[in-house]
């Protein structure tokens, strides 16, 4: 999926006007941690909290299996939303939050029809279903779904159901309808990811008796790391009922290895680290390698452009893959001319880049651009244009 220069440039401004849940606004600790802190404040307890709080064996089993006690505030969706967008760094507990949201929805609504969307079938099973924070891993024994792998379906004891589809082909979503959708890592979706997202919106239209009683619309949970893609702009632009949650890797260190923490702290101030671990909308290139360019500083009035160039070059950079959602094929026309300062000046004359799944289409466009600009090139000794 191609990057979007507009997203990269806009950065944090894309979030303007969106309600945001953060650790600073809603708290840093889950309910278990809050109990431990309260016990410590009351009598200085630092160990043996279970004995201090007089939990029964049954209560300890309940605490172990019920994720609502272990979710940090930022990992819990609000009571009312249309889209809950959990954007965070690597290892912040996004998968855990998404899986918990699915289980809670299934438990609350026996008529729930849930769709689980991920990059591929194998990624869905490996991460969203059977991963260390997946639905099947964190489900309590007393509310464990029956897995029908051949039908790609989960059925909970109360009748709620979920199915899963990979984000590969938008047409595969047609004919479905759901009350609740969990879309994981959409920035990693391949192919025409925007079309898949839009189709998710179309099929997220079913309501149930419980939803109507609660005044709830069909809802979608999105869990992802930020990335400068066209899809990211599309998702954040869908503002109706949108609530954003933000978290960094540092907020979940209790569940991460010490060596991993050391690595995160070492790279978190780099542009990539601020995006991948701090969960920030920072897409600038590393200034140690790239310098900002003010293209307008060297721009000239087209009316004052040279009428002839020493050479005309059509630069072609074909995209990888020929699918509908592949990156654009780069086609740029350049004029090279030796100027009075003794240097070759390069003029960008035309950007004919396009997106097409057909190789002959972009090839014809490149030839068309060459033919259009050949008359502006100086002639070689054989009389042919230097193009």
- Please state at what angle helix 193-203 crosses helix 230-237, rounded to 10 degrees: 30
Surface-to-core class of residue 363, CB atoms within 10 Å of its CB (0-12 exposed, 13-18 middle, 19+ buried): middle
Residue 366 has what DSSP assignment? H
265: three-class secondary structure by DSSP: helix
Q: How many CB atoms lie within 10 A of CB 116?
A: 26
CB atoms within 10 A of CB 223: 26
**How far does the chain reach from its first CA to its final CA, in angstroms?**
33
Q: What is the dihedral of CA 221, 226, 230, 236, to 10 degrees?
A: 50
What is the spatial distance between Cα 306 and Cα 340, in angstroms, rounded to a whole number? 13
- At residue 218, the 3 state secondary structure works out as coil
d(CA 263, CA 250): 11
pLDDT in tens, the chain (387 residues): 545 555 555 556 677 788 888 888 888 888 877 877 777 787 776 666 666 667 788 888 888 888 888 899 999 999 999 999 999 989 899 999 999 999 999 999 999 999 999 999 999 999 999 999 999 999 999 999 999 988 999 999 999 999 999 998 999 999 899 999 999 999 889 888 999 999 999 999 999 999 999 999 999 999 998 887 788 888 888 899 999 999 988 888 888 888 888 888 888 888 778 888 888 876 554 444 445 556 677 888 888 889 999 999 999 998 876 555 567 888 999 999 998 888 889 999 999 998 887 888 889 999 999 999 999 999 999 989 999
Burial per residue of 313-340, b for 16 or more beta-carbon CB atoms within 10 angstroms, e otherwise:
bbebebbeeeeebbeebbbbbbbebeee
The continuous run of DSSP H or E covering 370 comes out as helix 359-373
Cα separation of 252 and 138, whole Å?
17
CB 134 within 8 A of CB 128: yes
Task: Report the candidate in 318, 274, 324 with the shortest Cα–Cα distance to residue 89.
Answer: 274
| pLDDT recorded at residue 290 | 46
Helix, coil or strand: residue 293: coil
Q: Give the chain's length.
A: 387
pLDDT at 80: 94
Rounded Cα–Cα distance for residues 37 and 29 (Å): 9
Distance (Å, rounded) from C-alpha 300 to C-alpha 303?
A: 8
Q: Are 236 and 15 in contact (CB under 8 A)?
A: yes
Tokens of 303: 């009316």
Tell me, what's the pLDDT at 103?
97
Q: What pLDDT is attached to residue 207?
A: 96
Q: What number of helices (H) and strands (E) belong to the chain?
A: 14, 12
Structural contact between residues 247 and 88, judged by C-beta atoms closer than 8 angstroms = yes
Cα–Cα distance measured from residue 300 to residue 290, given in angstroms and rounded to the nearest whole number:
24
Reading the block at residue 228, the tokens are 């400068």
Count CA atoms within 13 Å of residue 183 on its CB side. Answer: 29
Q: What is residue 124's predicted lDDT score, i.e. its pLDDT?
A: 95
């Amino acid at each position: 999926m191609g990057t979007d220069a507009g997203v990269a440039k806009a950065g944090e401004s894309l979030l303007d006007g969106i309600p945001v849940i953060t650790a600073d606004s809603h708290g840093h600790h889950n309910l278990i941690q809050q109990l431990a802190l309260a016990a410590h404040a009351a009598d200085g307890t630092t160990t043996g909290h279970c004995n201090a709080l007089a939990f029964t064996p049954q209560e300890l089993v309940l605490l172990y299996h019920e994720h609502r006690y272990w979710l940090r505030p930022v990992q819990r969706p609000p009571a009312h939303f249309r889209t809950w967008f959990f954007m965070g760094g690597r290892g912040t507990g996004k998968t855990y939050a998404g899986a918990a949201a699915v289980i809670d929805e299934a438990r609350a609504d026996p008529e729930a029809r849930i769709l689980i969307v991920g990059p591929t079938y194998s990624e869905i099973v490996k991460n969203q279903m059977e991963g260390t924070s997946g639905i099947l891993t964190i489900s309590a024994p007393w509310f464990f779904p029956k897995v029908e792998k051949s039908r790609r379906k989960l059925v909970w004891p109360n009748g709620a159901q979920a199915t899963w589809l990979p984000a590969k082909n938008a047409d595969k979503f047609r004919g479905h309808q759901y009350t609740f959708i969990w879309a994981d890592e959409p920035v990693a979706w391949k192919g025409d990811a925007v079309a898949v997202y839009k189709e998710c919106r179309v099929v997220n239209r079913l309501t149930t008796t419980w939803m109507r009683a609660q005044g709830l619309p069909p809802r979608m949970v999105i869990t992802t790391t930020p990335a400068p893609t066209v899809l990211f702009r599309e998702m954040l632009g869908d503002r109706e009922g949108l609530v954003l949650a933000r978290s960094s890797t540092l907020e979940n260190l209790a569940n991460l290895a010490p060596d991993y923490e050391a690595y995160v702290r070492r790279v978190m101030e780099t542009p990539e680290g601020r995006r991948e671990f701090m969960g920030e909308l920072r897409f600038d290139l590393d200034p140690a390698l790239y310098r900002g360019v003010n293209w307008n500083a060297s721009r000239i009035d087209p009316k004052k452009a040279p009428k002839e160039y020493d050479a005309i070059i059509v630069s072609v950079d074909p995209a990888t893959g020929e699918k509908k959602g592949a990156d654009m094929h780069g086609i740029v026309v350049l004029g090279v001319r030796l100027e009075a300062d003794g240097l070759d000046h390069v003029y960008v004359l035309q950007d004919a880049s396009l997106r097409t799944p057909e190789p002959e289409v972009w090839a014809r466009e490149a030839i068309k651009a060459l033919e259009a600009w050949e008359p502006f090139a100086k002639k070689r000794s054989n009389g042919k244009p230097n193009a």
